Amino acid sequence: MVKRQAEESLEDVLPSASPLLKKARVDDSQDGEQRNGRSSAHPPNGHRQEDDVRNGSVASNTAGQEEDPTLKEVAHTTPLSPAEDGEDEEQSAYFTVSRQAAPTEGYSDLYLDTIDRAVLDFDFEKLCSVSLSNINVYACLVCGKYYQGRGPKSHAYFHALEIGHHVYVNMQTKKVYVLPEGYEVTSKSLEDIKFVVDPRLPKEDVLLLDKVAKDAWDLSGKKYRPGFVGMNNIKANDYFNAVIQALAHIPPLRNFFMLEDLAAKSELVQRFSVLVRKIWNTRAFKTHVSPHELIQQVSRQSNKKYDLLHQSDPVEFLSWFLGNMHLALGGSKTKPGTSIIHRVFQGKLKIESQQITAKADAGDRLRFEEAAEVIVETMRYLILTLDLPAAPLFQDEIDRNIIPQVPLTSILSKYDGRTAQEHLSMRKRYRLLHPLPPFLLFHIKRFSTNKFVSERNPTIVTFPVRSLDMAPYVEPNPTLHPPGEPIWYDLVANVTHEAVRTRDDSVEGEAERKVWRVQMRDRARDEWLQVQDLYVERVATETLFTKESYLMVWERRRGSGKGKGRG
C-alpha cells in the first residue's frame, strides 16, 4: 500500500467502493462518545448510520454507491405489533426480526410431529410461567407450558430458541403459530386441540345431551360419559367440586352457559362457562377436568374466603356463588327474574311473625295467639333451609348403634303454614307461594356451632327419588294452580357429607375430616352416579338416602299426574 502524503486528499486515495461502517454498538450513548474524546453532535456523514437504517436507507460514502443488500433487508422488515409482540414499539431496527407470513413451500407441516397431546392440559389458569402475566398468553404444544407473547423478545420466542419447541397456540384466539419463524399454521390436524382449548358444541348436540346416551374415549382409549367426569381435588376443594358438578347438571342453567356468547361478561361468568363446557366435552383428551381456573377467580373475588387450600361449607359457597353470578350477568338486586339464576331458582315465601308474650303457656309457647298482632311479610329465596330434629341425648344399650331417621316430608312441614318455630322473642311460621321455581334447592342443616363446640347431626333423611309432592307446602292460589292438584318434583342432584376419623395431636387424639360427594342422575340412561373428586361410580337408586344429605336439587316435572314424566 502506497503511503499517503499529507497533501493528498482522502477521496483521491481510497477506492471507489468504500467498505461499510461497522455495526454500531446498541448501548453507545452520547456520554460514552464524549468520554472517548469525540462528539456525536456532528458525525462525519451529517447523521448517524443507525438513524439511516431506521428511516429505511443507508448513506453511501461516495456518489452513486449502491446500498448493501443485507442492510436493505433489515431496513425493510416489518416488526410485530406490540399486542402480538409484547415489546416496546421504540426498539432498534437491528433487533427487528424478519417473520415469515407463511411456511416455506413443501414444509407446511414442519414441527407438527413434535406436538405431544398427552401433556396438554388447558384447565389451569392462563398465566405465563415466567412473568405470571395473563395478557396475550400462548401454550407450547410440545411441553404444555404457558408463555407470554410471540415476538422477538417474548418468553415464547426465547423458549423456542433455547429448548427447541416450535408450535404454540394463542389461548384466546386459538390460532396456532410456529416460532421463531412466526407464521400461522392452518392445518386441519390441529382442530382437535383448538376444540379442547375452548369446547363448543352445536345447539342440536346440546339439546340431545339428556336424551341420547353417548359414550366417548380419551387419548388413551379409556371410555367415559360426557357430563359425568371426575374433577381434580387440588388440596381441599371437594366442597367446590360437588357444588359445581350439581350446577352443571341443571339443564336450563347448563344450556345457557354452553350456548350463549358471554365474551362481554365478567371473568367469573366466562370461567364457569368454560368449565361447564369442559365437563360435557365429547372430545376430551382425558377423563377428568380441573377447576383450577375458576376457583382461582373465586378466591380473588371472595378475598380468599373460598379457595383450594381450605375446606368450606358447600351451601355457604353456593349462596355466594349464585349471588355473584346473578350480578355478573346483569341481574338486579331488587327486580326478580332479571337473570338466568333467578329464573331457575328464585321463589317467594310468606312469613307470619308474632311476639311471644309473658302470658304464653310455657308448654305451648309456639301456639299463635288469636288476640296478639300477627306481622305478615313476604321475601324471596334461592335456597330453602330444612331443620333436623334434635338427636336423642341418651340412648339405651339396644339402640346405641342406631342412627336416627326422618322422612323428608316431615322436615318440610316447616313450610306448611301451621308449624311455628321460635326465633329469639318471636314465633314464626312459613308458607311457600305460587309460582314455585323450576328448581328447588334444599339445605338440610346438620351443623351447629356455639362458643364452645361444633356439633353435627347425623340423622338420615329418607326421600323418594321421584314424585315429591310440594302442593301441601304452598299456599293455594286458584289463579296460578288448580286447588288439590299435586306439584311433582324429581331429584336431580344430592350433595352428601361423610365424617372420616383422622388422627390428631389434640388431647382427644382423633378428629373428623369432612368428605363431600355428589350424586347425579344420568337422564339419558336413567341411572345414578356418584362423583367424589376423580372417582365416578354407579350407585343403586334405593341406597341414595343412606348418605347424609346436605344439599338437594329438585326439578319441577312438566305437566301433571304421577306418571314417570320428564325428570
Residue owning grid cell 337422564: 523
Q: For residue 267, give Cα distances in angstroms to 135, 197, 300, 532.
A: 14, 16, 11, 27
pLDDT score at 232: 94
461-504 pLDDT, tens per residue? 999 999 999 999 999 999 999 988 999 999 999 999 998 877 65
Is the predicted pLDDT of residue 566 greater than 50, yes or no? no
DSSP 436: P
Cα 492 from Cα 554, distance rounded (Å): 5
Domains of the chain from N-terminus onward: 41-76 (no CATH), 96-196 (3.30.40.10), 203-326 (3.90.70.10), 347-381+383-556 (3.90.70.10)
Q: Is 461 or 65 the better-scoring residue by pLDDT?
A: 461
pLDDT score at 537: 95
| Nearest partner of 551 among 521, 527, 519, judged by Cα | 519
Q: The dihedral of CA 47, 53, 55, 60: what is its sign?
A: positive
Average pLDDT for 8-35: 46
Is the predicted pLDDT of residue 44 greater than 50, yes or no? no
Strands (E), 248-365: 288-289, 347-355
pLDDT score at 355: 86
pLDDT score at 75: 35
Q: How confident is the model at residue 12 (pLDDT cuts 50, 70, 90)?
A: low
Is the predicted pLDDT of residue 41 greater than 50, yes or no? no
78-91 pLDDT, tens per residue? 444 444 454 443 44
pLDDT score at 51: 44
Q: Is 286 or 561 the better-scoring residue by pLDDT?
A: 286
**What mean pLDDT, rounded, does the chain reach?**
81
pTM recorded for the entire structure: 0.78
Cα 314 from Cα 320, distance rounded (Å): 10
102-152 pLDDT, tens per residue? 777 666 678 899 999 999 989 889 999 999 999 999 999 999 999 999 888
Q: Three-state SS across 479-545?
A: CCCCCCCCCEEEEEEEEEEEEEEEECCCCCCEEEEEEEEEEEEECCCCEEEEEECCEEEEECHHHHH
DSSP 135: S
| Nearest partner of 562 among 493, 491, 490, judged by Cα | 490
pLDDT score at 394: 62
Which is it for strands 405-407 and 460-462: parallel, antiparallel or unpaired? Answer: parallel
Dihedrals phi, psi of 14, to nearest 5 degrees: -70, 145
388-437 pLDDT, tens per residue? 998 776 665 555 567 889 999 999 999 999 988 888 888 899 999 999 99
Q: For residue 232, give Cα distances in angstroms to 29, 268, 279, 305, 535.
A: 55, 19, 12, 20, 10
Q: Is 104 or 340 the better-scoring residue by pLDDT?
A: 340
Q: How confident is the model at residue 332 (pLDDT cuts 50, 70, 90)?
A: very high
